[in-house]
Structure 1
């Protein structure tokens, strides 16, 4: 099942996974997504998104004092006045950091409602400045080298059919060759996307991680977008290729 990494579809996803579990032998059940707890002190620019009730559904990255970059599909049917950005909070059950409201959401103009179509990015403007060092955007296409290691972060599920994490999690994943990713995903477009993960599976982003960062060498190179299940062998995580959209994103950041 090809799905976005947003947790908005939790009910539908769980229903389908239950059906799959009944049809698939136990030995073929989804693997636990590999990773470990991360420190918000080390990664202060990573944030999570909630609605006004406190339900966490996506992640994001602080890219300027009043700007957060996330996935366009996270913003589907989302009003700015119902959106909350949680900054500086590693443990979702704590009161650390701050909860910031949004004044506007700008979705990529080329986005057509499906992350598999590309342009899966959006900029959130915050109602006040946050005292967080922003993560620079990747500008150079040369950073996307096969087998280069990247870091993914988020509060999403730690297994395909499991619960979302209480704590910020991190995992290291290698970038995958475009030709290899194209064999896994017919929709894959190298100009818009980049894949990361292992052929054998086991380490991946999952639902609830959408919009969060794929970071390399102090730059934001990807935005968690979609995948076939989570951490399945032969299926990699697909991320928005930030360098391809950097000029457009920068325009929205500079617009204030």
Structure 2
């Protein structure tokens, strides 16, 4: 069994793994810096194609965005961990099960954007930890993120904003990228997205103009203090990458920490 446990540290509650959408306008990152980073790949036309990102939280559990997988079979996905490159190195494991948040299952046939955009990807065999493979921490339920808090978004997605909404991600980065984003005021976020419903379990963030997540970064971690996954990249308006008016939307992990603890062990 690979369990998640709760820990109180320096007055803040975190969930720890026991025993430990491409970035546009960002910078290179290394797996040594972010050893929990995972790239999820989809088998299509006899080739493993980059699909989404993820965050390793136990030896058998990766957090990602539910909208990356839809009605697909787990057998059509694999995950690479322990490598800065999405195409070579590290360890590749097969996805064996998708555990969708139950509220997501109620709305998964609705139009985008979807709430409850969170999935646990269970992989096999269990992943061995090393200097380049380590679990991330997740925040417990009460975890304030004041407006302006600096966060880091990670991913292997598109390096340019070509406006494409569908199809294979042909401009995915071959190496891990990072970009600094800052927590955006929730009420202003709702006002800017007046045509959409921005609910409390969504985390709004924004980068400088011309920078941010893009296609292929969905499911990737948004982290605080290097390894605390506070968000899972979810969506942005009309796939506008690096837009300085419409914030990027992530799933707020703290809202679902108890569900992750209850379902992430295995």
Per-residue deviation at 1:102? 1.5
Structure 2, unaligned stretches of length 5 or more? 1-20, 163-169
Question: Conserved in 1, the CA contact under 8 Å of 2:151 and 2:223?
Answer: yes
1:203 is aligned to 2:197: no
Partners in 2 of 1:65 and 1:84 — Cα distance? Answer: 14
The match for 2:250 among 209, 227, 239 is 239
User: Which of 70, 78, 86 matches 1:76?
Assistant: 70
Mapped partners of 1:203, 1:236: distance in 2: 11
Matches within 5 A, 1:157-236: 157-161=158-162, 163-186=171-194, 187-198=196-207, 201-217=209-225, 218-228=227-237, 229-236=240-247
Cα distance, 1:142–1:251 mapped onto 2, change above 3 Å:
closer
Per-residue deviation at 1:188?
A: 4.0
8 A contact 1:72–1:122 mirrored in 2: yes
Q: Do the aligned partners of 2:189 and 2:198 also contact (CA within 8 Å) in 1?
A: no
In the alignment, what sits opposite 1:156? 157
SS at match of 1:211: coil
The answer to whether the 8 Å contact 2:143/2:254 transfers is no
CA RMSD, 1 decimal: 1.8
Give 2:115's aligned residue: 118
CA distance in 2, matches of 1:143, 1:159: 32
Q: Which residue of 2 aligns with 1:23?
A: none
Residue 77 of structure 1 and its aligned partner are, at CA, apart by 2.1
- Gaps (5+ residues) in structure 1? 8-31
What SS does the corresponding residue of 2:55 show, helix, strand or coil?
Answer: strand
How much does 1:41 deviate?
1.1
Q: Which has the higher helix share?
A: 1
Q: Which is richer in strand? A: 2
Query: Does the alignment pair 1:44 with 2:35?
Result: yes
Contact 2:39 2:86 in 1 (8 A): no
2: CA distance between counterparts of 1:115 and 1:174?
24
TM-score by length of 1: 0.82
TM-score with structure 2 setting the length: 0.79
Pick aligned residue for 2:82 from 67, 85, 88: 88
